[in-house]
C-alpha cells in the first residue's frame, strides 16, 4: 500500500525526510523500556463502547504508566444513534461522554504525565467534538494540540455513487444504493492517525475508523513502521484488537466469570509493545479483573471471520498462528502475545451505510403467577390479533415483522429449551411496520392487556412503547483512491491524503472453508461432556451475521473439539436463529495457535443491530447457549479438564 499526500493550496508543505525523522524522535520522548531493556510503548484503552465506565480513566492514567490512552466508542449501532442525533441538532453527533466524563475531569493529569490521547469519539461530527475538547483545554489554561481526522463520511458524494460493490459474504455483486439512505461511513485505517501524531498532536479525534487503528496509529508513529512492514502492522492491529473492547480482555464477559474478582473495580487493558511487534497484555495494579490465556484468547476470536484473512485498511492479518503465553509474577495476570502475520490490503475501503426501513416498537412486560409463560404468550398473540383487526378497519397494511419471546421460558434456546414454564416471565414483543401511525396504534393497545387479559401482568417497562425508525445496515466496498482524508490541527485544515496502491481483490474471501480432517486414531468412548467443560467460548456480531469462537481449555482437548464440534453440529444446535431454508449457514475456521475454532453464523441476528426485533440482536448469548451443547462418544477426559 502506498500513501499519496494531496495538498490544497493553503495546506502545509511536505515534511522533508530529515524533518520527519526529527519530529519522530521528538515525539517518542515518553517511550518506556521493557524488562530486557528494549524500548517499548505502553497503550491503555479506557473505553470499549459508548457508555463504558469513566472509572477506567484515572486507573490507567495513574497506574498504567502510559504513553498513549485510547478510547473506542463506535459500533454500527452507535453510528446509527449518532447520525440520528446530528439530524436533530447539527452540533451533536459525537460521544459527549468522551469530553465531559473522560477528558474534562482528568485533563490536568493527562497533560502533567505527557499522555497522548487517541479516540474515535468524533462519530459523525468529529470537528464539533474537537471544538468541545478545545473549549475544555482553554478553560483549564493548558496548551494542547488537538488534531482531527475527517473524510470517512461519504454522504456528500451520494449523487456520484450510482452503483456500489456489495460486501456481503464475499459477493462481488453490484447494486444501487437505497433511496432512503441515512448515512455512509468508510472504515479508515491507522495512517491518518499516525500523521496527526507526526504533526505533534496531543489529542487525536477521528470519525469512523477500524477500532484497532486507534492503537496501530501510535505504534506506526513511534516505531516508524511503514506500509510495507506487513507483519508488524498485523501485530500492531492485533494489539489494538485485544484492547479495543476495554475490559473484555481483562476478565469481562469471560466464560469462567465466577473466577474473575472485583468487577466493581475491573482493570482496563494495557499493551506494552516492542518494535518487533510482540507485546505484553496486562492491566493496572490494584484493580479487579483477570488477564489470562483464556481471557485474551476469547477476545482474540471476538467478532472474527476468517482468522487467516482479517481484513483491515492497512493490512490483511493472519491470526491463525498467534500464540498467547501466560507470564508469571505479574499482579492480576499478564500474557505475552506474538505470531501475527500480514499481507497487502485491498485497494478498497469497507463502508457501512444505513438506510431507513420503516418503524419499530418494543413492549417489555413482566408477568408473574402460575403458568406465567403460557399467559405471556397468549397475551402477546391477543394483542397482535386485536391490532391487526384495527389495521384492517383503518386501511393499514399488516406488520412487516413480528417477534414474540417469553423470557424465562427459554425461548432464546429454541428446541434446546429445558424449562418452558415458570412462575415469573418477561414478555418481549417487538414489531415493525412501514407506517409510523400503525405502530402508534400498537403502542396504545399494550396497556389494556393489564385489565382485559391475563392476571399477573405487572406493568410495561418504560411505559407505553416508543415508536422509532429502523435503520438497516448495508456494507459495500469503495476505492481508497476516491476518498480524500483531511487532517485538521487546532481547527485548521493542514493536510489531505488519499491511499492508493495495488488492488489485491475483495476485502474478504467468501466465507467457505472445508472442515479440517480430524486427527487420526482418536479414541472414542461412552462419555458425554458439556462443551463448557472442554472449552471457553465467546460470541460477537458483524452486521446480520455472528461468530462464536471456541478455545480448548487444554491443548490435548483440541483434537476432540475438531472431530466432534463441526459446522453441521453447531448449525443443528442453533437452527432456530437462522431464517428458514438457509443452507450453509455455519462456516468453521481453525486457529491452531490458540487451539481454537471459529464459527461464522450468517444471517443469524434477524437483521442485526437496530434492525433486529430480537431480545439479543448482537448474538451476545450465542456462545453461552453453545456451551450447553453435549458432546457424546468421547473417552474419559477427566484428567485433561481444568
What pLDDT digit, counting tens, does each position of 230-268 carry? 999 999 999 999 999 999 999 999 999 999 999 999 999
Residue 330: how many CA atoms within 13 Å on its side-chain side? Answer: 18
User: Are both 290 and 362 inside the same structural domain?
Assistant: no
The pLDDT of residue 58 is above 50:
yes
Cα angle at 358 between 357 and 361, to 5 degrees?
A: 125
Instruction: Name the pairing type of β-strands 203-206 and 146-150.
Output: parallel
Query: Rounded distance, CA 338 to CA 296, Å?
Result: 12
Q: Check whether 10 has a pLDDT greater than 80.
A: no
Phi, psi (degrees; rounded to nearest 5) at 592: -60, -30
d(CA 80, CA 74): 10
Residue 128 lies in a domain: yes
217 and 249 belong to one structural domain: yes
Statement to judge: residues 263 and 391 lie in one domain: no
Contact yes or no for 346/479 (Cβ under 8 A) = no
Which residues neighbour 406 within 8 Å (Cβ) at sequence distance 6 or greater? 373, 376, 377, 380, 425, 426, 427, 428
User: What pLDDT is recorded for position 375?
Assistant: 95
My answer on whether 121 and 248 are in the same domain is yes
Say if residue 90 is exposed, middle or buried (CB neighbours under 10 Å; 0-12, 13-18, 19+).
Answer: exposed
Neighbours of 547 (CB within 10 A): 26
Instruction: Specify if 422 maps to a domain.
Output: yes
Q: What distance separates the 2 farthest-apart alpha carbons in the chain?
A: 80
Residue 253, domain member (yes or no):
yes
Predicted pLDDT at 20:
32
- What's the pLDDT tens digit per position in 39-56? 899 999 999 999 999 999
Q: In whole angstroms, what separates CA 274 from the centre of its chain?
A: 25
Q: Are residues 551 and 608 in the same domain?
A: yes
Handedness of CA 472, 477, 482, 487 (dihedral sign): positive
Q: Assess if residue 17 is contained within a domain.
A: no
The answer to whether 102 and 163 are in contact (CB under 8 A) is: no
Backbone region of residue 633 per phi and psi (left: phi > 0; alpha: psi in -120 to 50; beta: other values): left
Residue 44 CA, chain-centre distance (Å), reads 17
Label residue 75 by pLDDT band (50, 70, 90): confident
- Give which of 240, 238, 208 is closest to 76, Cα–Cα: 208
260 backbone dihedrals φ, ψ, rounded to 5°: -95, 120
Separation of alpha carbons 305 and 432, rounded Å? 30
CATH number of residue 382's parent domain: 3.30.70
Residue 84 is predicted with a pLDDT of 82
Same domain, 406 and 553: no
Rounded alpha-carbon distances, angstroms, from residue 41 to 112, 220, 239, 620: 18, 11, 11, 33
Is pLDDT at 11 greater than 80 in this prediction?
A: no
C-alpha pair distances (Å), 55 with each of 60, 95, 215, 446, 569: 9, 17, 21, 39, 42
Q: Taking the CA of residue 486 as centre, how many other CA atoms within 13 Å lie in the half-sphere pointing to its CB?
A: 15
The residue whose grid cell reads 386485536 is: 386
Among 439, 432, 435, smallest CA distance to 403 is for 432
State the CB neighbour count (10 A cutoff) for residue 414.
13
Q: What is the DSSP string of 489-512?
A: ETTEEEEEEEEE----S-SS--S-
pLDDT of 6: 33
Q: Are residues 242 and 337 in the same domain?
A: yes
When computed from its CA atoms, the radius of gyration of the chain, rounded to whole angstroms, is: 25
Classify residue 481: in a domain, yes or no: no
Grid coordinates in use for 95?
A: 460521544
Three-state secondary-structure class, residue 229: coil
* Beta strand extents in 289-328 (DSSP E only): 310-311, 316-318, 323-327
C-alpha cell recorded at residue 122? 468524533
DSSP state of 579: P
Residue 405 DSSP one-character state = E
Q: What angle do CA 555, 558, 564 make, to 5 degrees?
A: 160
pLDDT band of 508, cuts 50, 70, 90:
very low
Q: Are residues 336 and 367 in the same domain?
A: no
- Whether the CA torsion 250, 255, 259, 260 is positive or negative: it is positive
Mean pLDDT (whole number) for 390-407 = 97
The separation between the first and the last C-alpha atoms of the chain, rounded to the nearest angstrom, is 45
User: Per the domain annotation, does 511 fall within a domain?
Assistant: no
Is residue 218 within 8 Å of 116, Cβ to Cβ?
yes
Q: Which residue has the higher pLDDT, 222 or 421?
A: 222
pTM of the model: 0.91
Indicate the number of domains in the chain.
Answer: 3
Domain assignment present for residue 25? The answer is no
Of the candidates 464, 451, 456, 445, the one whose C-alpha atom is nearest the C-alpha of residue 385 is: 445
Predicted confidence at residue 7, as pLDDT, reads: 30
In the prediction, which pLDDT does 301 show? 98
On whether the CB atoms of residues 170 and 542 are closer than 8 A, the answer is no
Place of cell 490507567: 60
Report the pLDDT averaged over residues 613-634: 96
Across the chain, mean pLDDT equals 90
Q: Are residues 337 and 370 in the same domain?
A: no
Q: Does the pLDDT at position 35 exceed 60?
A: no
Predicted local confidence at residue 38, as pLDDT: 66
Domain residue limits at 376: 356-470
pLDDT band at residue 80, thresholds of 50, 70 and 90? Answer: confident
At 343, which helix (H) or strand (E)?
strand 341-343
Three-class SS of residue 587? Answer: strand
Residue 516: its pLDDT value, please?
Answer: 66
pLDDT at residue 22, rounded to an integer: 33
Which stretch of 29-38, 140-149, 602-611 has the lowest confidence by average pLDDT? 29-38
pLDDT tens, position by position, 261-291: 999 999 999 999 999 999 999 999 999 999 9
Least confident of 168-182, 204-218, 544-558, 613-627: 168-182
How far is the C-alpha of 187 from the C-alpha of 182, rounded, in Å? 17
pLDDT in the model for residue 3: 37
Same domain assignment for residues 200 and 313: yes
What residues pair up with 355 in beta bridges, in sequence order? 181, 472
**Confidence at residue 37, expressed as pLDDT on a 0 to 100 scale:** 55
Verify that 319 and 390 share a domain, yes or no.
no
Going by pLDDT thresholds of 50, 70 and 90, the confidence category of residue 225 is: very high
Neighbour tally for 79: CB within 10 Å: 27
What is the pLDDT averaged over residues 616-629? Answer: 96
CA dihedral 504, 508, 511, 517 (to 10 degrees): 60
Task: Tell whether 180 is covered by a domain.
Answer: no
565 vs 502: which has the higher pLDDT: 565
**CA nearest neighbour of 248 among 269, 217, 279, 275:** 269
- 196 three-class SS: helix
What is the pLDDT, as a whole number, of residue 286?
96
260 and 391 within one domain: no
Lowest mean pLDDT among 153-157, 419-423, 567-571: 419-423
pLDDT at position 639 over 80: yes
Helical spans, DSSP H, in 336-454: 372-394, 436-444, 449-452
Q: How many residues does the chain have?
A: 642
Stronger pLDDT, 80 or 334, i.e. the higher one: 334
Amino acid at each position: 500500500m502506498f500513501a499519496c499526500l494531496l495538498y490544497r493550496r493553503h495546506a502545509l508543505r511536505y515534511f522533508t525526510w530529515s524533518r520527519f525523522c526529527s519530529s519522530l524522535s521528538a515525539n517518542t520522548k515518553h517511550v518506556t523500556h521493557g524488562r530486557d531493556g528494549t524500548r517499548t510503548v505502553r497503550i491503555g484503552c479506557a473505553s470499549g463502547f459508548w457508555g463504558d465506565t469513566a472509572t477506567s480513566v484515572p486507573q490507567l492514567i495513574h497506574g498504567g504508566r502510559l504513553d498513549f490512552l485510547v478510547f473506542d466508542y463506535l459500533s454500527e449501532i452507535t453510528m446509527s444513534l449518532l447520525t440520528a442525533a446530528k439530524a436533530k441538532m447539527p452540533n451533536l453527533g459525537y460521544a459527549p461522554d468522551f469530553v465531559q466524563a473522560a477528558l474534562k475531569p482528568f485533563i490536568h493529569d493527562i497533560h502533567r504525565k505527557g499522555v497522548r490521547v487517541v479516540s474515535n469519539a468524533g462519530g459523525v461530527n468529529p470537528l464539533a467534538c474537537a471544538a468541545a475538547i478545545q473549549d475544555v483545554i482553554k478553560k483549564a489554561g493548558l496548551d494542547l494540540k488537538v488534531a482531527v481526522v475527517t473524510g470517512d463520511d461519504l454522504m456528500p458524494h451520494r449523487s456520484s455513487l450510482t452503483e456500489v460493490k456489495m460486501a456481503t459474504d464475499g459477493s462481488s455483486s453490484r447494486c444501487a444504493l437505497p433511496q432512503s439512505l441515512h448515512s455512509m461511513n468508510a472504515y479508515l485505517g491507522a495512517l491518518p492517525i499516525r500523521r496527526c501524531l507526526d504533526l505533534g498532536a496531543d489529542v487525536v479525534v477521528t470519525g469512523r475508523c477500524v477500532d484497532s487503528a486507534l492503537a496501530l496509529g501510535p505504534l506506526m508513529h513511534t516505531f516508524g513502521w511503514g506500509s510495507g512492514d506487513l507483519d508488524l502492522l498485523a501485530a500492531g492491529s492485533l494489539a489494538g484488537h485485544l484492547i479495543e473492547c476495554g475490559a473484555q480482555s481483562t476478565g469481562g464477559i469471560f466464560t469462567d466469570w465466577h473466577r474473575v474478582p472485583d468487577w466493581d473495580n475491573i482493570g482496563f487493558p494495557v499493551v506494552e509493545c516492542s518494535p518487533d511487534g510482540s507485546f505484553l497484555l496486562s492491566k493496572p495494579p490494584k484493580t479487579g479483573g483477570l488477564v489470562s490465556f483464556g481471557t485474551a484468547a476469547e477476545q482474540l476470536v471476538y467478532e472474527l471471520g476468517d482468522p487467516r484473512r482479517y481484513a483491515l485498511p492497512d493490512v490483511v492479518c493472519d491470526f491463525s498462528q498467534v500464540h498467547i503465553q501466560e507470564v508469571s509474577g505479574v499482579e492480576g495476570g499478564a500474557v505475552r502475545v506474538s505470531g501475527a502475520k500480514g499481507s497487502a490490503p485491498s485497494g478498497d475501503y469497507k463502508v457501512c451505510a444505513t438506510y431507513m426501513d420503516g418503524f419499530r416498537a418494543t413492549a417489555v412486560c413482566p408477568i408473574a403467577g402460575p403458568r406465567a409463560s403460557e399467559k405471556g404468550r397468549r397475551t402477546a398473540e391477543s394483542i397482535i390479533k386485536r391490532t391487526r383487526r384495527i389495521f384492517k378497519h383503518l386501511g393499514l397494511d399488516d406488520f412487516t415483522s413480528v417477534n414474540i419471546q417469553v423470557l424465562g421460558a427459554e425461548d432464546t434456546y429454541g428446541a434446546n429449551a429445558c424449562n418452558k414454564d415458570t412462575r415469573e416471565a418477561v414478555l418481549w414483543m417487538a414489531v415493525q411496520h412501514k407506517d409510523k401511525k400503525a405502530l402508534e396504534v400498537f403502542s396504545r393497545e399494550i396497556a389494556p392487556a393489564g385489565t382485559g387479559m391475563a392476571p399477573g401482568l405487572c406493568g410495561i417497562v418504560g411505559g407505553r412503547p416508543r415508536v422509532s425508525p429502523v435503520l438497516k445496515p448495508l456494507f459495500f466496498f469503495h476505492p481508497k483512491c476516491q476518498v480524500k482524508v483531511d487532517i485538521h490541527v487546532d481547527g485548521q485544515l493542514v493536510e489531505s491524503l488519499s491511499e492508493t496502491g495495488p488492488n489485491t481483490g475483495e476485502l474478504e474471501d467468501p466465507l467457505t472453508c472445508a472442515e479440517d480432517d480430524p486427527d487420526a486414531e482418536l479414541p472414542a468412548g461412552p462419555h458425554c461432556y458439556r462443551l463448557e467443560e472442554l472449552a471457553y467460548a465467546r460470541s460477537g456480531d458483524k452486521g446480520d451475521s455472528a461468530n462464536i469462537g471456541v478455545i480448548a481449555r487444554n491443548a490435548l482437548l483440541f483434537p476432540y473439539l475438531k472431530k466432534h464440534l463441526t459446522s453441521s453440529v453447531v448449525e443443528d444446535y442453533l437452527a432456530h436463529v437462522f431464517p428458514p431454508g438457509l443452507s450453509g449457514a455455519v462456516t468453521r475456521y481453525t486457529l491452531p495457535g490458540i487451539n481454537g475454532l471459529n464459527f461464522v453464523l450468517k444471517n443469524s441476528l434477524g437483521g442485526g443491530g437496530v434492525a433486529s426485533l430480537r431480545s439479543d440482536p448482537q448474538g451476545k448469548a450465542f456462545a453461552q447457549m453453545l456451551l450447553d451443547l453435549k458432546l457424546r462418544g468421547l473417552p474419559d477426559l477427566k484428567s485433561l479438564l481444568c
